Amino acid sequence: MTNIKRRNFIKSATAAGVGLACSPGVIAGKNMFSGKDEVSVAVIGTGNRGRSLLNLLVKNTSVRIPAICDVDDNALAQAQKILQNNDRGKADEYTGSDYSYKELLVRTDIDGVIVATPWEWHVPVAVFAMKNRKYVGLEVPAAITTEECWELVDVHEETGTNLMFLENCCYDRETMAVLQMLRDGLFGIPVHATCGYRHNYWGSNSFIEFREDSADNKHWRNRHYLKRNADLYPTHGIGPVANWFNINRGNRFDYLTSVATKSKGIYEYLENHPEGGRDHPNAKLDWKQGDIVTTIIKTSNGESIIINYESHLPRPYSRDYSLNGTKGLWSGEYMRRGIYVEGKSPVPHQWEMGEAYDVYMKKYDHPLWKNHEADAKNSGHGGIDYFMIQAFVDCVSQNLYPPIDVYDAATWSSIVPLSEQSVAGGSEPVFFPDFTKGRWINRKPSFGL
Ligand SMILES: NC(=O)c1ccc[n+]([C@@H]2O[C@H](COP(=O)([O-])OP(=O)(O)OC[C@H]3O[C@@H](n4cnc5c(N)ncnc54)[C@H](O)[C@@H]3O)[C@@H](O)[C@H]2O)c1
């Protein structure tokens, strides 16, 4: 698609004030990639996540990968290996400076770009990409300050260039089934949900090797834990819940309040590590990030949502999803995966679990999952990455409005700075900006339809 054609398409789509849920292929769960025969996608940030997405892109024969960018030669070399192992040509490399991405993004032969850099580079790269008319796929969280959230929205509106927020957890099989159940009225009127990101980062983010005064970006997350006290990773939890509650589409987040515990987990790790101890320099740093940050959001339609962020205590991984409605409830938590529907569940006050639970999940399985389970099987995070990347490629190839848009990116990611403000202010309520500027009232639910 030429830039001119693309501009016309976007103009007519935004002028009409509509956003297509996703490409027809994605909506109906049938053949995907029904747009251009070939689409060219570049990857900026070829670290762990960038390479994992690249691994999916190379499996799609309609995707060309002409260019990659990273400041780390080793990350680029590993990305080239992926291309080589999949019989792809070598991609042009952009490296040498933090701003090398600009040289890549001014190229005119690139349709879309995946941004998988550290958080602080998300917005500068995405903004430059939109200004250069590249369809952006932006990793999570989209932004880490409220100003950055606004910048994404403003530049999208100024340029008409699309941005898909790559919140893969929206494609989680069970939460998509729950979305179907809600739309079918199984739980009555939704009232409350829980969600979160509970993942012990000790293994993947060494606090021992981190050097506060070093410019190396291997341990970039640690700088945030050192300086901030917030829910730094809210969107894996809130994405599916925002879809359940039609956020930015007839409903909106009104305000939140957050509380953080003390910070003990990082010290425990440092002091007990074989190379650590109480005298290790990093054990003497003043780490700001609390071990658990709990946020409660109130929506304009009257629902409440609890979001947990826990990254430095020993624990199994969890995203803590649950939902309560006037007719029943669902819990996706590992130890209590169950459902209860008043008047339908056979034993009053008791969860339906095991096989009885599976019957619901099968009945409400989303068509995407029903039709593409085998394709998704070996992709990342239990299959969700497959659906996300296919939706992105499909949207780029036809320049469709994305299923998870810039307003979702800004609203969900704003929980980072707003929770930080609330924690710092003694759990004061903090009101959400309306990134849609009132359009949430008339926008219609679209995800998964
Ligand atoms: N959706 C998911 O499930 C998921 C999973 C993991 C990570 N992520 C997100 O992906 C992003 C990357 O995380 P990661 O774990 O891959 O980190 P990483 O450190 O492994 O990779 C980041 C890469 O970006 C490069 N980089 C840094 N500054 C750059 C710049 N100015 N220009 C170009 N490249 C630059 C680094 O050298 C590194 O190779 C983060 O936003 C993270 O939150 C998402």
- The 10s digit of each residue's pLDDT in 172-224 is 999 999 999 999 999 999 999 999 999 987 766 689 999 988 877 889 999 99
| Ligand 1 atom nearest to CA at 121 | 31
Does residue 66 have a cis bond before it (omega within 30 degrees)? no
Which stretches of 29-134 are assigned E, i.e. beta strand? 39-44, 63-64, 67-69, 92-94, 112-115
Backbone angles phi, psi at 138, to 5 degrees: -110, 130
The lowest-confidence range among 22-36, 88-102, 183-197 is 22-36
| Ligand 1 atom nearest to CA at 51 | 16
Is 11's pLDDT higher than 80? Answer: no
* Distance between CA atoms of residues 229 and 267, nearest Å: 15
Ligand 1: centre distance to CA 435 (Å) = 26
If one compares 292 and 383, the residue with the highest pLDDT of the two is 292
Ligand 1: centre distance to CA 70 (Å) = 10
| 288 CA to centre of own chain | 24
- Rounded to the nearest integer, the mean pLDDT of the chain is 91
Q: Averaged over 295-318, what is the pLDDT?
A: 96
Closest residue to atom 6 of ligand 1, CA basis? 49
CB of residue 414 inside a 6 A radius of ligand 1: no
Ligand 1: centre distance to CA 80 (Å) = 17
Q: Averaged over 62-75, what is the pLDDT?
A: 97
Give the pLDDT score at 44: 99
* Distance between CA atoms of residues 96 and 204, nearest Å: 26
Ligand 1: centre distance to CA 119 (Å) = 7
Sign of the four-CA dihedral 181, 187, 189, 193:
negative
At residue 24 the predicted structure's pLDDT band, cuts being 50, 70 and 90, is very low
Residue-wise pLDDT for 408-446, tens only, equals 999 999 999 999 999 999 999 999 999 999 999 999 999
CB of residue 429 inside a 6 A radius of ligand 1: no
Q: Averaged over 254-269, what is the pLDDT?
A: 97
CA-closest candidate to residue 248, choices 100, 435, 425, 415: 435
Closest residue to atom 40 of ligand 1, CA basis? 118
For residues 164 and 142, is the Cβ–Cβ distance under 8 A? no
CB of residue 139 inside a 6 A radius of ligand 1: yes
Give the pLDDT score at 201: 78
Ligand 1: centre distance to CA 406 (Å) = 19
Is 35's pLDDT higher than 70? Answer: no
CB of residue 319 inside a 6 A radius of ligand 1: no
Backbone dihedral region of 136: left (phi > 0), alpha (psi from -120 to 50 degrees) or beta? beta
Closest residue to atom 4 of ligand 1, CA basis? 49
Q: In a 3-state reduction of DSSP, which class is residue 32?
A: coil
CB of residue 175 inside a 6 A radius of ligand 1: no
CB of residue 117 inside a 6 A radius of ligand 1: yes
CA angle centred on 98, ends 95 and 101, rounded to 5°: 60
**What token pair was written down for 37?**
């025969």
Give the pLDDT score at 23: 37
Give the pLDDT score at 377: 85
Closest residue to atom 31 of ligand 1, CA basis? 98
Give the pLDDT score at 333: 83
Give the pLDDT score at 36: 66
CB of residue 72 inside a 6 A radius of ligand 1: yes
How deeply is 245 buried, as exposed, middle or buried, from its count of CB atoms within 10 A (0-12, 13-18, 19+)? buried
Which pTM value belongs to this model? 0.93
- Probe target for ligand 1 pocket from 101, 128, 139, 222, with the most ligand atoms within 8 Å of CB: 139
Give the pLDDT score at 206: 84
Ligand 1: centre distance to CA 219 (Å) = 10
CA-closest candidate to residue 98, choices 118, 78, 114: 118
Give percent of the chain with pLDDT exceeding 90. Answer: 85
Ligand 1: centre distance to CA 116 (Å) = 4
